[in-house]
Structure 1
């Protein structure tokens, strides 16, 4: 995006508005026109912010109980579980499971 140096509004691209019929950047509020004679290339790589683990991360799985549940990956017959209310209060809680098999460590959820 490019902005007008006179009034700081966003410049729009309009083909054929220049003196020699070239494409220009044009301001909609003032008479500013900037002819584009060569390609304008600029790239800004945005830094992504870190996302917090809303389920509590590894710390939340430390003191949970294990029940008889079959892991869909390794078929181990026990899994840790916890329940969290994700939706409104009139909806059922969501159950999260994590395989007890240390080599698997697969996690899944059931509504």
Structure 2
């Protein structure tokens, strides 16, 4: 990774003739020599998402409501409300479908 020495933005690579790094935020350009190669690409690994509530907690403390599941379209779900952002923001509602048991959130 290369960063712009002028503004600190991540430089973008353009394979043209000649190759160059350029800054998308300011007019900085750095032309590269012809013998420079990108040798390695970093492959990102998708992390497992940890649930806010376990299925047992949803079933034990969740109340039923009319909510349409975005995955299967069923019209009933369990829900819980939780303050996960700052205090001046509204609470988030976490739903679990009673048919397919998928979990989704509405802010």
TM-score, normalised relative to structure 2: 0.49
Q: Which has the larger radius of gyration?
A: 1
TM-score, normalised relative to structure 1: 0.47
